[in-house]
């Protein structure tokens, strides 16, 4: 028999998965080109040429140990190169031992949470949030404490964070560019978070989940978390930057200013092993070493974002242009986001209710979708706009 906690987890199900199943049903009934599925966050661009070339070159000759185990935190030369990049971005002295190669950003988060959490330690999570954060915290005996962001700006509210701090608070998870809200935390916001945590008089680690850090639009860049937040750990991956989500390659980088740095460096390697990851995928550590600066064509995501912004605005929605990431997070024209999303399904538009991200009254729409689907969806959005008297 499976565990009671997993029984509960399965019964709850994820709203994203429910939309996925709805999509299968609709496509069967109406045909694939008649369904406008904006529910999943699966990057649809292929990896950049440099990445494909690195894969071909690395696998062309004799393997020579290419597929062997290595030390738990990863290949030293890969860690050193990443440390160099993080040092350049932050202005800090970051050495290879700060870096542990991981199974995606998700693996990085699980490794660091296992490293720092004792049973019942509290972890502050800012809503709207990536729903798996709840699982990651609970995986390691932690207690998620949800803190609401500002419903107008979707940015963190510092006073709300301060109110949520207790003597058991061990960490705060931040995510910028944000899934689902698309906001980017400015230098000022990061500095305010740092100050608020310092004022608490206790050490609170900031686990900064950054898989979208290269997906910033309108010429923006994302500030360095290591630079602005003292006890910070960056968790990131090449899932979005290089469109490699299935290859599960990422890393964590511990700030040299983190309390207990030396012990942490040893513990993360150990946790990589204890969680059963052992090490990050060997081939893809080498792939990123050889193509470290490669990125997908971010301009393509930006032009889709712009087109969808125009469509939603024309349909009368109260919409904020996402500064980064792959999602719009839009206020529903009615209070009940489940009811609104169900009525979108009638128009064959699939989006995800904000309640799935701990933020009711909104819906999430992913713009990592083909241009043709975006164009085909125009009439359906206009129909929704008319149905709710937005136009
Ligand atoms: C906010 C956020 N964090 C983490 C992840 C997991 O990233 P990875 O594929 O690198 O594990 C995702 C995936 O979509 C995400 O949206």
What domains can be seen in the chain, in order of their start residue? Answer: 4-46+297-387 (3.90.1150.10), 50-290 (3.40.640.10)
pLDDT score for 13: 64
Q: Please give the average pLDDT of every successive group of 10 residues along the chain, which has 391 residues.
A: 87 73 88 91 91 97 92 98 98 98 98 98 98 97 98 97 98 98 98 98 98 97 97 98 97 98 98 98 98 97 98 96 98 97 95 96 96 96 97 93
Q: How many CB atoms lie within 10 A of CB 289?
A: 17
Judged by DSSP in three states, 126 sits in: strand
Q: How far apart (Å, rounded) are the C-alpha atoms in residues 87 and 255?
A: 10
Give yes or no for residue 281 CB within 6 A of ligand 1.
no
Tokens 């991981």 correspond to 102
Cα 374 to ligand 1 centroid, rounded to whole Å: 24
User: How much is the pTM?
Assistant: 0.96
Judged by DSSP in three states, 74 sits in: coil
Give yes or no for residue 239 CB within 6 A of ligand 1.
yes
Q: How far apart (Å, rounded) are the C-alpha atoms in residues 157 and 149?
A: 5
Which of 47, 101, 106 maximizes ligand 1 atoms within 8 Å of its Cβ, making it the mutation to test the pocket? Answer: 106
Nearest ligand 1 atom to alpha carbon 41:
14
Handedness of CA 213, 214, 218, 220 (dihedral sign): positive
Q: Burial of 306 by CB count in 10 Å (0-12 exposed, 13-18 middle, 19+ buried)?
A: middle
pLDDT score for 329: 98
Give yes or no for residue 173 CB within 6 A of ligand 1.
no
Please tell me what DSSP assigns to residue 257: T
Give yes or no for residue 26 CB within 6 A of ligand 1.
no
Give yes or no for residue 209 CB within 6 A of ligand 1.
yes
Q: How far apart (Å, rounded) are the C-alpha atoms in residues 340 and 346?
A: 10
Which of 135, 209, 234, 356 maximizes ligand 1 atoms within 8 Å of its Cβ, making it the mutation to test the pocket? Answer: 209
């Amino acid at each position: 028999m499976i565990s009671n906690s997993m029984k509960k987890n399965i019964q709850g199900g994820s709203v994203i998965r429910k939309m996925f199943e709805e999509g299968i049903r609709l496509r069967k009934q109406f045909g694939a080109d008649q369904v406008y599925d904006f529910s999943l966050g699966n990057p649809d661009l292929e990896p950049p040429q440099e990445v494909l070339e690195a894969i071909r070159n690395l696998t062309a000759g004799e393997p020579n140990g290419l597929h062997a185990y290595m030390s738990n935190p990863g290949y030293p030369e890969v860690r050193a190169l990443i440390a160099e990049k993080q040092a350049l971005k932050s202005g800090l002295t970051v050495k290879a031992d700060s870096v542990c190669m991981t199974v995606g950003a998700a693996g990085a988060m699980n490794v660091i949470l296992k490293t720092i959490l004792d049973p019942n330690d509290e972890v502050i999570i800012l809503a709207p949030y990536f729903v798996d954060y709840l699982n990651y915290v609970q995986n390691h005996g932690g207690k998620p404490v949800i803190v609401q962001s500002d419903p107008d700006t979707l940015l963190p509210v510092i006073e709300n964070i301060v109110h949520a701090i207790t003597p058991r608070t061990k960490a705060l998870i931040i995510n910028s560019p944000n899934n689902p809200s698309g906001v980017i935390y400015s230098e000022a916001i990061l500095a305010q978070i740092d100050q608020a945590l310092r004022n608490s008089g206790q050490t609170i680690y900031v686990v900064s989940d950054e898989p979208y850090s290269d997906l910033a639009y309108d010429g923006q860049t994302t500030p360095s978390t290591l630079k602005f937040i003292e006890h910070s750990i960056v968790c990131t991956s090449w899932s979005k930057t290089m469109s490699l989500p299935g290859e599960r390659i990422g890393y964590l980088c511990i700030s040299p200013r983190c309390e207990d740095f030396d012990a942490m460096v040893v513990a993360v390697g150990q946790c990589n092993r204890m969680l059963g990851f052992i090490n990050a995928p060997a081939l893809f550590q080498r792939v990123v070493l050889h193509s470290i600066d490669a990125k997908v064509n971010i301009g393509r995501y930006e032009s889709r974002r712009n087109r969808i912004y125009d469509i939603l605005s024309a349909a009368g929605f109260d919409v904020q242009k996402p500064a980064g990431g792959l999602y719009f997070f839009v206020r529903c024209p009615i209070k009940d986001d489940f009811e609104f999303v169900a009525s979108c399904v009638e128009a064959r538009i699939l989006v995800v209710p904000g309640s799935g991200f701990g933020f009711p009254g909104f819906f999430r729409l992913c713009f990592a979708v083909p241009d043709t689907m975006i164009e085909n969806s125009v009439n359906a959005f206009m129909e929704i706009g008319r149905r709710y008297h937005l136009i």
